[in-house]
Amino acid sequence: MAAQLKKYRRITVKIGSALLVDRTAGLKRDWLASLADDIAVLAENGA
């Protein structure tokens, strides 16, 4: 699968609002930052 993804410059990751927002605290910034870090690592490793 990683080989197939290499031909694309961009991919889209769909995230539901329930994962992004906490009713009391608002936007889950730490979670979103962690997700971005995980995606960056995958991209650097060619996944």
pLDDT in tens, 1-47: 666 767 777 888 899 999 999 989 899 999 999 999 998 898 888 76
Residues in the chain: 47
Of 42, 47, 18, give the one whose Cα is nearest residue 31: 18
Counting the structural domains of the chain, the total is: 1
Exposure of 23 in the CB half-sphere (CA atoms within 13 A): 0
Q: In this predicted structure, what is the pLDDT of residue 1? A: 62
pLDDT, position 42: 86
Which domain, by its residues, includes 6? 2-44
Residue 31 is predicted with a pLDDT of 94
What pLDDT does residue 36 have? 93
